[in-house]
Amino acid sequence: MFHKILIANRGEIALRIIRACKELGIKTVAVHSDVDSEALHVKLADESICIGPAVSAKSYLNMKAIISAAEVCDADAIHPGYGFLSENAEFAEICSNCGLTFIGPTAENMRLMGDKIRARQTVIAAGVPILPGTKEGVQSAEDAIKVAGEIGYPVIIKATAGGGGRGMKVVHSPASLPNAFAAARSEAQAGFGNPEVYIERFCERPRHVEIQIMADKHGNVIHLGERDCSIQRRHQKLIEEAPCPVLTPELRQKMGECAVAAAKSVNYSSVGTMEFLLDQQGNFYFMEMNTRVQVEHPVTEMVTGIDVIKEQIRSAAGLPLRFTQDDVKISGHSIECRVNAEDPERFTPFPGLIDGYHTPGGLGVRVDSAVYDQYKVLPHYDSMIAKLIVHAETREEAIQRMARALDEYIIEGIKTTIPFHQRIMANREFIEGNVDTGFLERLLP
């Protein structure tokens, strides 16, 4: 097992990793920007090192500074959390070359599954269903029109190296395709430094269902069931739950087996997530793989009782999985609300000083957050300040418990999305489980 882990992240995920490390008896090092000196992960880690100014490119994305910090404090591993450098293959290679263990998959895994076209080709070979689409990047609007005509409208244009909805355009007719194609390539170049795009058939009103996988370095791979992440705004998840309200045991098994097969086909080792679209007829299609721990991993922990972060660390240390597929049991229902420092109507960032803070409690309530009373929410980073998670025996009880917990959650001095979440918990369609990825677009003005 590791002696000391440097955490190359901030906020609630840095704190989450510190907690897992403490329970495993591992010392921790927090790195931070100069404006994060009073952050909770800095206060609770065994050591802390400032690695640069507020701007992420000069601190949390500064590979040289992070490696130097690890060498100075004699860490033997680096945990990247999610975001920042968590899916950066170059950083994983640099860690290895410097004698540091990158707590995550291999650089080759990240390159393969991070390239959407190569990932599609890989999962096809593993027997995983995908939507009809191109097997290579599309280079011109003329080619795009030809491909779309063969696939059938509507189609969606996606950035090969994309994520977060950037470089993604839905097209319903040949007339609108050239402009959409140019816009998608432009966004892809600006966002990822790679203009390449591909095209696939657009799945209308799908659910976004993902399978949590866990793998070790000995060839063992299991899945921990699914999460429904259909409540999204502009492709950004806001509410997640486990299990998916409409998945049958048979469909769960089939999706899980496909996720495991895809992971085994690339010799994957670490935790990761296979993301699928589930259509109205119960057909599922591979969308992409996230080669890191997900923001929404707590709902899986709540229904399985398995600590995803601990198992990720154990796997990186070369230890075998402690669980077989038969050991994984889904119990009850869990819901997570991402609480952002944003105007709940306009969803614009709302940084500032928190001058009153009270977290909800009671049976089945969990808050993952790194904020506290008199904490200043900074404008330099992501606006998510907390994850409120509940667990109950049934989905109906989980919704009621979440509504109660949201009522108790007090954050004063700034605006947050708590009122938005309260609205969703009272929404009849959500309560009945009648949602898809376009749910919020129809609900919000």
DSSP letter string, 131-171: -SB-SS-B-SHHHHHHHHHHH-SSEEEEEEEEETTEEEEEE
Mutual angle of helices 297-304 and 308-316, in 10-degree steps: 100
Q: Respond yes or no: is residue 292 known to be catalytic.
A: yes
Any idea of the CA torsion for 112, 114, 115, 119, to the nearest 10 degrees? 60
CB 270 within 8 A of CB 316: yes
User: Which of 236, 222, 370 has the alpha carbon at shortest distance from 300?
Assistant: 222
State whether the Cα torsion 219-220-226-231 is positive or negative.
negative
As beta bridge partners, residue 213 has: 223, 272
Residue 226 CA to residue 247 CA, distance in Å, equals: 9
- Contacts of residue 331, Cβ cutoff 8 Å, sequence gap at least 6: 303, 304, 305
CA-closest candidate to residue 306, choices 334, 338, 281: 334
Cα separation of 68 and 155, whole Å?
Answer: 46
Catalytic residue among 16, 120, 185, 292: 292
Report cis status (omega within 30 of 0) of the bond before 154. Answer: yes
Report the alpha-carbon distance of residue 163 to residue 259 in Å, rounded: 19
Report the distance separating Cα 14 and Cα 17, nearest Å: 5
Upper half-sphere CA count for residue 40 (Cβ side, 13 Å): 21
Active site residues: 292
